[in-house]
Amino acid sequence: MSPRGAALRFYLTALFEAQTSAARADSHPVSKRPLRGTHDDTGWDDLLASPSQDTSGNVYMTVAAKKRRQLHATLDRLHQEELVALPNIDAGSNKYEAFELMDEGGRRDQGPNDVYRLPKADDKAAFGLPVSFFTQGWVHCLEDTELAFVLMIASLGALTDEVKIEGRERLLRYGLGRDAYEAHIMLNRLGLLDVRPDPSRYADGKIQGYSGPSDAHLHSFKLLPDGFEKPAYRAVLTAIGEALDQADDA
């Protein structure tokens, strides 16, 4: 995760592209998609949403050039974490072409990472997301902390059931601290997440009658698949506008 980087959303997009390919389950998908799109072909740069705008002045860089630079930086970051392989790393400016996905576990303590393989239908380690998470643009419009929160809740089975997670498990297993945990507020506002707070917990996080760490008062969460069916960009703008209006009223 990073405030301005695109590594998380690009990797998720690449997984989605691989899983919608014609490759069979348990195979290693190899994409023939070019890095740079043309009039006839959709490139990886077309699948990377960016707020970049043309600049003028002493230094001029087009949107396409900015996206290409961001894409290269993203692949460098993913390669560093062993989430992608760069078979053409010695090919100069073409080193990023034909990159290959590596296993989601990333860099290991010992030995190289394995190649990515498409999950089987009965793979218990895999979990699902609504297809509209990608097709309606949510992967591009949510912050990294919000994306990570969605993935955490989905991995806990919350597409079908409500789940609770203790702070220690959230931090050690998913790497989401207190600030990232607050992502549930915006996800709830967007209609993507049902949040049911413990009635004894105050808005500031304090707990009525708290008696120590063993006295757990946890929110319960459930993803709302239908919420992902609406276009993300418009929904996010609306939610931000409503939040600003409420702040002004307060």
215 has a pLDDT exceeding 50: no
- In this predicted structure, what is the pLDDT of residue 214? 45
Place of tokens 């050690």: 172
249 has a pLDDT exceeding 90: no
Average pLDDT over residues 178-186: 92
- In this predicted structure, what is the pLDDT of residue 160? 72
237 has a pLDDT exceeding 80: yes
Average pLDDT over residues 105-123: 92
Q: With contact defined as beta carbons under 8 Å apart, do 37 and 45 qualify?
A: yes
Residue by residue, DSSP assigns 12-67 as: HHHHHHHHTSSPPTTS-------SS--SSS--GGGGS--------SSS---HHHHH
Average pLDDT over residues 119-128: 88
33 has a pLDDT exceeding 80: yes
- In this predicted structure, what is the pLDDT of residue 206? 59
Rounded Cα distance, 131 and 37, in Å: 23
Percent of the chain, pLDDT > 90?
59
Rounded Cα distance, 226 and 216, in Å: 30
Cα-Cα-Cα-Cα dihedral sign, residues 71, 77, 82, 86 = positive
Average pLDDT over residues 157-171: 84
Determine how many CB atoms are found less than 10 A away from the CB of residue 67.
Answer: 21
Q: What's the Cα-to-Cα distance from 171 to each of 126, 176, 179, 183, 225, rounded to whole Å?
A: 21, 5, 11, 14, 25
* Torsion, CA 170, CA 176, CA 182, CA 188, rounded to 10: -70
Which tens digits make up the pLDDT trace of 191-214?
Answer: 999 998 876 665 555 555 555 554
Rounded Cα distance, 65 and 45, in Å: 10
In the chain, how long is the greatest CA-to-CA distance?
Answer: 65
Percent of the chain, pLDDT > 70?
88
